[in-house]
Amino acid sequence: MLSNLATRDVETLIHPYTNLSTFRETGPLVLERGHGVWVYDSDGRPYLEGMAGLWCTALGYSNEELVEAASEQMSRLPFTHLFSGRSHDPAIELAETLKELMPIPTSKIFFTSSGSEANDTQVKLTWYLNNALGRPAKKKIISRIKGYHGVTVASASMTGLPANHADWDLPLPGFLHVGCPHHYRFAEAGETEEAFSQRLADELEALILREGPDTVAAFVAEPVMGAGGAIAPPSGYFEKIQAVLDRYDVRFIADEVICGFGRLGTWFGSEALGMRPDSLSFAKAVTSGYMPLGGVSIDEPLYKALVSQSAKLGTFGHGTTYSGHPVACAVALKTIEIYKRDRIVEGVAEKAPHFQARLSALAEHPIVGEARGIGLIGGLEIVADKNSKRQYDPKAGVAARCVAFAQAEGLIVRFLAGDRIAVCPPLVISPDEIDTLFDRLICALDRTEAWIASEGLTATP
């Protein structure tokens, strides 16, 4: 029986990434408040937020400094825009701050309101750049199977997940996908991580040659795949991919929406994994999720093209109402100040070995095939047979059931396609809270194992 609040929700809201049919019976988990790494539902029950909301609430909940930064800016200048040459102090200062933090040469910053908008902007800027350079055929965008880059028409086309394409008439023409760098699931028998990485790089090169290097504009990748399964890349992967991109003058775009601002123990995931992108997209933890804000780094060659096209066309015809919103920028400035002052990024590096040790130990559980990550992010995969890696029928919803058991244990984690479960807590989580997280996850796995037995589930043939 749903509560009054839950009934009102079911009758009024459309929930993203939700089975809207079964949801009518289960109803929502209604959260009312949060503090630190904990959130509380409408009955006052606490949950350890093991996903930092949606990979974003890096400083945890109810950080008073962020609340005050938003309040002060709301009182002073709640809104203005950046159109037609207008500006404001928070946007200027934030752009300066971000330029200094960027791990790659950066001339300017362009602000958006989300990661989807940032990646959509990357596509448009890439097309715009090649038009400016007199290369109108160099427009194709390559991303990866299981990569996640957003839900706008262009960013969803880059996304390599079936649910983002099926019945949406996506991907658009000109968006191509190469193999997923998940060694556990896609490596051939006996294939080392280095050999697997080389095979994927060879496949990328073959695709570029097949399509024609003069038609391929950019390659887009997350340092660690998020919604595709919390998948860390195999050894040598980005080094080998980078060599191919350099060989054929293919622009490299790093999607840092999840990995940016400390998640891997470095300011950006590109630094942790030796990536050398031309541009990167950011969002989420730039404000600790407290305000919607995203953006892209603009390198000098791209900036020069934007200037020349503005002279030719009379304007730079791109932007949204809330690009560089003053309240969001003020919160981002305070967030970055806290990251620096409290050594949040260094703290992640210090806590990561403990987090990864607890994560890796889950691979010993009878129903877990792989448990792997980097920094304070990781994924585990539930399998029916550990030796063959055979999986349960997707319709059984085993990972979804495990996540439900975790919620019953007072832990929020997220299930993903392929019976994957992601863990991505706030960066401020303490060592004791890391233990609480994994202790509760083990309980959920134990309950899932018992449920599997009671249901008589078997591996898919």
DSSP 192-227: -HHHHHHHHHHHHHHHHHHH-GGGEEEEEE-SSBST
Give the per-residue pLDDT at 4.
87
Task: Quote the pLDDT of residue 433.
Answer: 98
103, 117 Cβ separation under 8 angstroms: no
pLDDT, residue 461, reads: 62
**In this structure, are residues 235 and 193 in contact, taking their beta carbons and an 8 Å threshold?**
yes
CA distance 79 to 403: 40
Which two three-digit tokens encode residue 175? 């968006």
Q: What is the pLDDT of residue 153?
A: 98
Number of Cβ within a 10 Å radius of residue 227: 24
Size (the chain), residues: 461
**Whole-number CA gyration radius for the chain:** 22
Find where tokens 């989580």 sit. Answer: 429
Residues 260, 293: contact at Cβ < 8 Å?
Answer: no
Q: Give CA 295 to chain center in angstroms.
A: 14
Q: Give whole-number Cα distances, 31 to 39, 44, 53, 70, in Å.
A: 7, 9, 11, 21
Q: What is the pLDDT of residue 380?
A: 98
> pTM of the prediction?
0.96
Please give the Cα distance from 272 to 279 (Å, whole number): 16
How do the pLDDT tens digits run along the chain, 461 residues long? Answer: 577 899 999 999 999 999 999 999 899 999 999 999 999 999 999 999 999 999 999 999 999 999 999 999 999 999 999 999 999 999 999 999 999 999 999 999 999 999 999 999 999 999 999 999 999 999 999 999 999 999 999 999 999 999 999 999 999 999 999 999 999 999 999 999 999 999 999 999 999 999 999 999 999 999 999 999 999 999 999 999 999 999 999 999 999 999 999 999 999 999 999 999 999 999 999 999 999 999 999 999 999 999 999 999 999 999 999 999 999 999 999 999 999 999 999 999 999 999 999 999 999 999 999 999 999 999 999 999 999 999 999 999 999 999 999 999 999 999 999 999 999 999 999 999 999 999 999 999 999 999 999 999 977 66
Q: What number of CA atoms fall less than 13 Å from residue 300's CA on the CB side?
A: 2
pLDDT the model gives residue 458? 77
Q: Which domains does the chain have, with CATH numbers?
A: 4-62+343-455 (3.90.1150.10), 66-341 (3.40.640.10)
Query: What's residue 460's pLDDT?
Result: 65
Which of the 8 DSSP states describes residue 351? H
Quick one: pLDDT at residue 1? 58
| Dihedral pair phi/psi, residue 419, rounded to 5° | 55, 40
- Residue 19 to residues 12, 23, 26, 154, 238, Cα–Cα distance (Å): 15, 6, 10, 24, 35
